[in-house]
Every structure is written in C-alpha cells, then in structure tokens.
Structure 1
Amino acid sequence: MKPQAGEVGHPGSHQGHHRERRRGATLPAEIERELFDRRRFPVLGAPGRQMLRWLRGHPNAPVYRQFSGHRLGPAHLAWAHWRQWRVAHAALPPPGPPRWLDSFVRKAWAELPARRRQGGRPPAWADMEPMGRHDLSACLPDHVPRSLVLDELICFTTSGTTGHPLRVPSHPVVAAEYLAYHRRALRQFGIVPHARAGEVGIVLAGYQQRCFTYVSVNPLMGECGLAKLNLMPHEWRHPDDRAAYLDACAPELISGDPVSLAALADLPLGHRPRALLSTSMALSEGLRQRLQARFQAPVLDIYSMNEAGPIGVYREDLQGFALLQPWLYVEILDEQGRPRPEGEPGEIVLSGGFNFCLPLLRYRTGDHARLVHTQCGPVLRDLQGRSPVRFQRADGRWVNNIEITHALKPFDLVRYALHQGMDAAFELRVDGREPLAGIAPRLREALVKPLGLPLALTVVGLGADDKLRQYTSDLPGHAP
C-alpha cells in the first residue's frame, strides 16, 4: 500500500448537509475493536470515531478487507505538523549539488552498513558508486540506518515491475508527509486542500482483483476521512453502490492510477472532486483530457515511487514534471555513472529524500528523462519509465521509444505496451475506451511516421495485468 494525502466539492454538492448526516453507524463489537485499536490510532477524537463508523457502516459501503490507521501518537503528531510546515515553506535549491548534500552524505555513510564497508570516509561525489533496486532487494538491512527504532517502523511491499520485489521500510511520520508533497503539487494548480472534521478528504481508488482496502482519518486535517477502496464490482454488495457511496462521501480529492481513474469516469457520479491525482503508471494525454472534461477538475499526473515518494508533477506549461522535494537531489547519469549535460537524456538518480528509514545515496531509479532548469525550477522532460528501448524500422534504422510515446500521446489509452519480436514484427497491446476495431486503424496510422513502411503491426487488447513493461524487444541491439 502507498500512504497518501478551497471549498470542498463543487457548487451544489451540499457539503454541509453531508457533515450533518455523518452521525456514524452501529457496528459489530469486534469490528469496532479493530477499527479503534490504539495501535492504529493512538490519538483519536470524537470526530474521528464518528467518521470511521460512518465510512465503514454506510449502507452503500464496499466490503472493506483490512484495517489501518495513522499510528501517530502525541509526540509524533507534533513532529508531523512541523514537517508539514517545513515542506510548505521550503524552496527548491538552485542547480547543482545542494548545500545539505555534504552533511547528508556524512551521516548516511556513518549509518548505512553497505556504505561503511566501502571505506571509513565517503569518497568524492563523482567517485561514489551508484546503487540500484537490486541492491535493496538483495539485502535491505544494509541500506537501513543502524540507529532506527525498529518498534516504530512500518513496511510495505512493492510489486516489482523491474523483477526485484521490495519491502520498503517507513515510519508513520514519513507516511504523513506524503500529504505535504501532494499539497505542493496541488498548489501549482491553485488548489489548497482544507477538508475538515465531518468531511472526507481523499478517496484512494484501486481497480484490481485483490486490493488492500480500509478506512482511516487524517489527524493533520481535523480527522477528516480517508478511504482506500476497490472499484471492482465484486468488492461491493451491488455495482450501483459504487457511485452512491462516492457521492455520499463527496471527497475533496480522489487519487488512483490510470486504470482506476478510467473506471471511475464510467460511474454515474454526481459529485466532482476538486482534483484527481494519478500515480503509479504513465498517464496518457488523451485520458487526462477525458478525465478533466468528465469531472471539470484538474488531473495531476504525479511521478512517484515507493522508494522516494512523490518526485514531480506534470505541468503542461513546462512540458515536463516539476520537481517537488527540496531535500531530494536529482541527477541524470549515463550507463557508466557519469553526469549528463543539462538537457541530455539519461537515467534518473536520486539522493536524499524525506524517508529517513531509507536514505538514498545515488539511487538508480531505472527511469530516464532530461533535466532542464526553468524559471519555475528544475523540470524532468521526456520521462520514460524503466530502460529505454529502441525499435527497428523496416529500413534498418533504429527509433527511440520516446518517438512512440509522442505518436500515441493524443489517444485516450488507459495503458499500452509495444513489443518487437525476433522477426521484427510489432505487437501493440492497448487498453482503451474505444472498441478495438475502431481505434486500431488510427493507431496504425499514427505509428507509420516513427516506424515507417512497410509496417508489420498487430493491435490486440490488453488483459488485466496490474503492471507491465511498456516497451520491450527481442531484437539484439534494442538497448540504446
């Protein structure tokens, strides 16, 4: 699971009436014991208890499978409030290594077993060996500070699209800080979240066969409600309950991935959130425009990963992802670990971050982009998840996968994946709103420009994979 974070709703949403109706419900005693467990909610007031009962006991509520909570006691809650304030008022550093980097490196080097084995003192920055996800997967304790209080740790598991499933250590204060970076992203679109007691601040929407689902409250915002739910029909008593429950919740924000948000757009909702947040997967321009038209609200495409949290938010005026974290140093390196000139493509490498349980020192993300500096700060352009792939045209020339991304950008596709086999033929798998027979000819036409003629291309439907590699090839030489 990933932890997450105006006038609420929209004119006519009757948010005040929702607050009056949220009186809670009578729940079985065993459910209430789990729901209000002090380990999950060390601090829980009357508004929070009322909200939890209401979310869980609503007649249209889904079948919630799990229990969760913020786990913030009084001291940690005060600490979390301070961290929220600090993030809200911090500016991004100027280009180049930030001033905090030297002290961060010295502290991390003293605390991380994997680095201490490389020597008593950290080397020069340019000589520091980058690390990757495989290092974390092979021996995670080597990359966790020795001074951590283990009783306070929480862990969540990533799905491992790179072939390296990973347990990521975290802390309740770290989980709470996601809200601060989502606030920074929302502020760039003129939105300041202010859900309060008696209101639902955010719904985290999934669309998977199996999904971690629960209700909680946010103690940083007056114990407003939070619900993590699964939009798959089998998780509801009746499919119509999905729209009825979401309309009753009237969340200020809805977060999900392109798959779940596309499913959300098909529901007959009357409520419009103030914004939608898309994470985890690439969001097509066509789907973003459809979601914005459907909900009359901005759709934020957030570049995020479990190891580092929210990294950037896409801004059309900047043609890329504006960076969000003041204490995360972003480099672009080549395969040999050498810095790329500004504006040149390479691998995104991270150092620092807000998760003190997993300090990153030149962490290779496997994602690629160009880093440029604008008047609005650093921006990642031409972001591509995982390693770039070249595709071979019929005339023998190679085409970078970024050309495919540009060609397919206008289409309303939830997901797609392009593969080139050993015979050089292409298979494009698509998951979109339009029937395959109608969209396939237009997809073929769009790919003629980057891939040329003759074009051996088959367009098929994309199954219900939760995650997938977007670009793959069997041809030798496909790696740039």
Structure 2
Amino acid sequence: MDAEFAARQDRNPLLDAAGWRMFCFLHQHPRAPRWNYQVGDRLLAKDLPALHAYRQRIIQERPRWQPDPPDWLLAWVERLLPKVPLWRERLPAGFDPRRDWVHIPTSCREDIASRIEQLVPQNAELSRLIVYETNGTSTGHALDVPNHPAAVALNHPLLEFALSRHGVRPRFDAQHVACVNVGSEARTVTFANVFAAWNNAGFAKVNLHEASWSRDQARRFFAEVQPEFLTGDPVAFAAYADWAIDYKPMAMVSTATMLSAELKQHLEARHGCPVIDFYSTTETGPIAYAGPNGDGFSQLPPDLYLEILDPEGYPVEAGTLGEIAVSGGRNPYLPLLRYRTGDHARLDPAGNPQDPAPRLHDLHARAPVLFRAASGAPVHPLDIAYILRTQSWVQHELLQGADGSLRLTIRPGLIARIDRQALRDGFDVLFGKLPLEIIEDPQLGSNRPGGKVIAYRREQSPG
C-alpha cells in the first residue's frame, strides 16, 4: 500500500492519508464504472497561497464594465508584448495599446491551431506544462491547449462562486465526494481523483453508456457515493434523466454547450436542485455563469476583459448583439488578446443585486447536436471527434442529411495524409453503413470571419 500511495503522490503531490482513503473509496467502489484513465491535479504546496488569494479576490473584486480596457490589462499587454512573437508580429513598433486598443487585430482558434508556438511567451518556464485536447465542437478546430496546474486550480474557486450565488455550498473535504462529471458517449475517459484545491475531496468522471456500466450499477453508484454536485453537458444530463437515476445532488452545473430552457426546467423539477448554466471554454477557462433569477450570465473572473465585437473586430454599442472576445486570463502559456470565442451575446453593463458584474444576454453559444446512426441510436459529436482525432487535420465540418447520409469536409494538416479508409471504418462503427462522403479542402474556413465553420450540423427529417 505504501508503494501505491507513493505512486499516487506523483500525480497528486499534496495527497494525504485522508485523501488516499477517498481515492481508494472511489477507485475500488464495487459499483464504479470501468475506470480507463488516470489523472492527477499536480498541485504543489507553493501553489496554495495564490489559490487562496484568488478565492478571496473573486469575492472582493467583482468585475465592473468599462468601455475602455482597464489599467491592469494595459500593463499586462505592455509586459508581455516583447515576449509573445505573434503579438510582436501584429503590433508594430510604437503601437500604443491604450490609444489604439480597438485597432489591435483580433485572435481566434485558428491562431492556436496553426501557430501555438508563437503565442507561448518566449521566457515561459515549461517544466510543469500540461496539455488539454479540445474537439472542435464550436468552430471545427481541434486544439491542443497548453496550461499550468496552478492556473487550472484557479477554476475551482470560480465554480465555487457560481454555486454560492445559487445558495449552494458543498462540503469540500476528504470525507465527501465533491463532484461527479457525467458524460454520455460511446467512448470517453473515466477516472477517479481527488483535488487538493478542495482539500482532497473526491471527484469522478463517469460515462452513462452501456459500454461503461449498467443502468442499475450507475443508479447504485450515485446513491452510495452521494456527490455534492454534478457537472456535465446537456446531452449527458438528458441521459442522467433517461437512465432514471434518482439521486438528487445539491446542484447540477451544465457546461460545454447551450442548455435549453426545457431541459433545465425538467431537471430542476425532477431533482429538486438548481441547474446552473456555466459558460466556459478550454482556451479561456470560466467566463460567466447564469444567475438564479434568469437575468443573464454574470461575468465570473475579475482578470478577464470582455468585449462584444462586430465582424470587423470593432466594439458594438452596449446592448447590441455581437461576438464575445476576451483578453487576459490566468494561463501563463496562452495569453489571450482580443480572442474571439465564436460565441455571441449582448453585453449589459449593469449588474444585479446579487452580483454587480456585467452580464451577457441572449448568449448564442455552441448548440448541442445529436446525430443518428442507421439504427436510429444517437451519436454524440464527441464520439465523432474521437475518430477524427486519429487523423492529422486542422479543421472539419460534418453534415448529416435528412436521409442520414454524411458529408465530412476536412482541412488536412500540412504534412500527413488523411487515411480515408480509417475514417470510413471509424464512422461505420458509430453510424453503421450510412453513406459517407469525405472531402479534403485546404481552404476550409478561409473565407469566413475568424476561420470559423459550423463543425457539426444535422438536417431534420421532414415531418
């Protein structure tokens, strides 16, 4: 056991005896799904002071809207400008960010997908680099996003704050499972973990799919593990309801894609807890959360600057629909400067009695799309993304016609060739023998603002 404990500490350096008991409780639980992955938080003791300070900062320094970039952001840009090659390329010598902010060229996922080495500051210390993969569900770009464990840990207090605005205060200690993340995919990672940011409270990522476990097993697992709250995308939460899992958490936090009002109402009525819409991307981290009174999404971090832009990259008037762009953030390997998210909203400068932060209304984020196999079974875009990830590609667009046929357009990478047979074999596993057309288009997205395409689309059958 000592050897196993020591091995686990390689991934969770702040693991203590209580945290080890919690990890073993989850990992060895007789009703657990098939765990197929291992992760750790990589957090060190030297990271904790900044984490605790940020937890207080979120409460004490709520963001306030202002039409011009704040001083802290301008100082941050001036400090990083000599160190970020892409910024130096786009901002000529003598450029004054304070005077000419609206003329700074915007950035987008294309920059991360194609030239990430020009975005990482040249003096960045890379010994603790971790990488997150994204699946191109919004703009069709698959991304490898660099990050730092201490920066990732700062997402925990942001989630805590959003929960607290709904009156939810989970128990974060090694005697409780803080959160279970729910998925519903044919193939995905599942794992148990503990987080030092939450005092080694338990965490698990599970998959509501028969390939992972049975429905009865899942029902018993939730009843016995009793997580304080759940996170997941709307498709997963719909599966949670469909599997008739009766466990009632303190809250359900919906992420990744748009949550419909109908599903939110259904989940709240069934489980008797708040269902919180949480707006976040892998590149930016958390951006905003939906308040308890249905009055828009309040900005979460005090160290992000939000703009709403027109297609040319100029700010629109407050209250006008436009594309959300962010600057700033906590990721030392990915500084964001007027970064277009691909999502659209109207910015309301006014806060509300619960939170003075500016709010986003009419948020048009990534809508969930479920494809259909030849059998009629649903196919999640993340399962499709897993197949696509085996290829060297920059961007994709998939359309399923009303007759079930599939058309996949890919912008290939610069070196490797697309293995069409491997793609066909993978799609056959997911969809059955549906017609599949594969198109290689090196110019995909080049004629669209920010290079964005609609990654997943499905035509509805007549009637």
Q: TM-score, normalised by structure 2?
A: 0.76
Partner of 1:178: 155
CA shift, 1:129, in A, is 0.7
Tell me by how many angstroms 1:85 deviates: 2.8
Q: Partner residue of 1:281? A: 257
Partners of 1:363 and 1:430 in 2: CA distance: 37
Query: What's the counterpart of residue 391 of structure 2?
Result: none
For residue 155 of structure 2, what is the amino acid of its counterpart?
Answer: Y
Judge conservation of contact 2:170–2:228 (CA < 8 Å) in 1.
Answer: yes
**1:100 maps to 2:72:** yes
- Deviations, residues 350-371 of structure 1 (Å, cap 9, x unaligned): 1111222211000111111111
CA contact (8 A) 1:318 1:379 kept: no
**Contact 1:258–1:415 at 8 Å: present in 2 too?**
no
Contact 1:321 1:379 in 2 (8 A): yes
Partner of 2:365: 385
Instruction: Give the structure 2 partner of residue 76 of structure 1.
Output: 47
The structure-2 alpha-carbon separation of the partners of 1:175 and 1:461, relative to structure 1 and needing over 3 Å to count, comes to farther
Letter of the structure 1 residue corresponding to residue 186 of structure 2: Q
String of CA shifts for 1:22-76, please: whole Å, max 9, x gaps.
xxxxx8x99x47x943321112110111111110111111110011111112112
Matched AA of 2:173: R
For the Cα contact (< 8 Å) 2:298–2:351, is it kept in 1?
no
Match of 2:264, SS state, is helix
Partner of 1:219: 196
Matches within 5 A, 1:190-269: 190-236=167-213, 238-269=214-245
Q: How many equivalent residue pairs? A: 381
Matches of 2:405 and 2:78 in 1, distance apart?
Answer: 51
Q: Decide whether aligned partners of structure 1 residues 468 and 331 sit closer, same or farther in structure 2, where only a CA change above 3 A counts.
A: closer
Structure 1 position 224, deviation (Å):
1.1
* SS of structure 2 residue aligned to 1:37: helix
Secondary structure of the residue aligned to 1:150 is coil
Match of 2:340 among 359, 364, 372: 364
Residue 125 in structure 1 maps to residue 101 in structure 2: yes
- Does the CA contact (< 8 Å) of 2:351 and 2:359 recur in 1? no
Choose 153-162 or 262-271, whichever is displaced more.
262-271
Residue of structure 2 equivalent to 1:44: 15
Partner of residue 149, structure 1: 125
1:437 matched residue in structure 2: none
Counterpart selection for 1:60 from 31, 34, 41: 31
Amino acid at match of 2:303: W
- 1:332 pairs with 2:308: yes
Alignment of 1:385-424 (within 5 A): 385=365, 415=369
In 2 relative to 1, CA 260–458 (structure 1 residues): closer, same or farther, beyond 3 Å? Answer: same
Shift of residue 267, structure 1, vs aligned partner: 3.3
CA distance in structure 2 between the partners assigned to 1:461 and 1:320 by the alignment: 38
RMSD (Å), alpha carbons: 3.0
Deviation at 1:122, TM superposition (A): 4.1
Q: Encode CA deviations 1:155-179: one digit per residue, 9 max, x unaligned.
A: 1110013121111111111111111
Letter in 2 for 1:61: A
Q: Distance in 1 between matches of 2:205 and 2:370?
A: 26
Q: 1:468 to 1:257 in 2, by over 3 A?
A: farther
Q: Which residue of 2 aligns with 1:9?
A: none
Structure 2 counterpart of 1:347: 323
- In structure 2, relative to structure 1, the CA distance for the partners of 1:138 and 1:271 (3 Å cut) is same
| 2:358 maps to amino acid | P
Report the 3-state secondary structure (helix = DSSP H, G, I; strand = E; otherwise coil) of the residue aligned with 1:83.
Answer: helix
Cα distance change, pair 415–134 in 1 and its aligned pair in 2 (3 A): closer
Rounded to whole Å, the distance in 1 between the matches of 2:72 and 2:403 is 50
**1:230 Cα offset (Å):** 1.2
Q: Which stretches in structure 1 are left out of the alignment for 5+ residues?
A: 1-26, 387-404, 406-413, 418-428, 433-456, 474-480
User: Residue in 1 aligned with 2:437?
Assistant: none
8 Å CA contact retained: 1:415, 1:431: no
CA distance in 2, matches of 1:468, 1:246: 36
Distance verdict in 2 for CA 1:253–1:370, change over 3 Å: same
Contact between 1:430 and 1:460, CA under 8 Å: does it hold in 2? Answer: no
Q: 1:18 maps to which residue? A: none
Change beyond 3 A, Cα 1:242–1:472: closer
Cross-structure match for 1:111: 83
Alpha-carbon spacing, 1:240–1:295, altered in 2? closer, same or farther (3 Å): same
- Contact 2:156 2:197 (C-alpha < 8 Å) held by counterparts: no
CA contact (8 A) 1:430 1:459 kept: no
Q: How does 1:152-167 map to 2 (within 5 A)?
A: 152-161=128-137, 162-167=139-144
* Identity, % of aligned positions: 35
What CA distance in whole angstroms lies between the structure 2 residues aligned with 1:460 and 1:318? 37
Kindly state the Cα deviation for residue 225 of structure 1 after the two structures are TM-superposed. 0.5
Distance 1:182 1:111, change over 3 A: same
The separation in 1 between residues aligned to 2:405 and 2:218, in whole angstroms, is 26
The unaligned stretches of length 5 or more in structure 2 are 380-400, 407-426, 432-452
Cα contact 1:106–1:122 (8 A) shared by 2: no
* Contact 1:88–1:180 under 8 Å retained in 2: no
Distance in structure 2 (CA, Å) of the matches to 1:72 and 1:416: 36
Structure 2 residue matching 1:283: 3-state secondary structure: coil
* Letter paired with 1:328: L
- CA deviation profile, 1:118-148 (whole Å, cap 9, x unmatched): 3345442122111111011111011112222
Q: 1:253 to 1:153 in 2, by over 3 A?
A: same
Higher relative contact order (Cα pairs below 8 Å, separated by 6+ residues): 2
Query: In the alignment, which residue of structure 1 is the partner of 2:445?
Result: none
Residue in structure 1 matched with residue 385 of structure 2 by the alignment: none
Greater shift after overlay, 225-234 or 376-385? 376-385
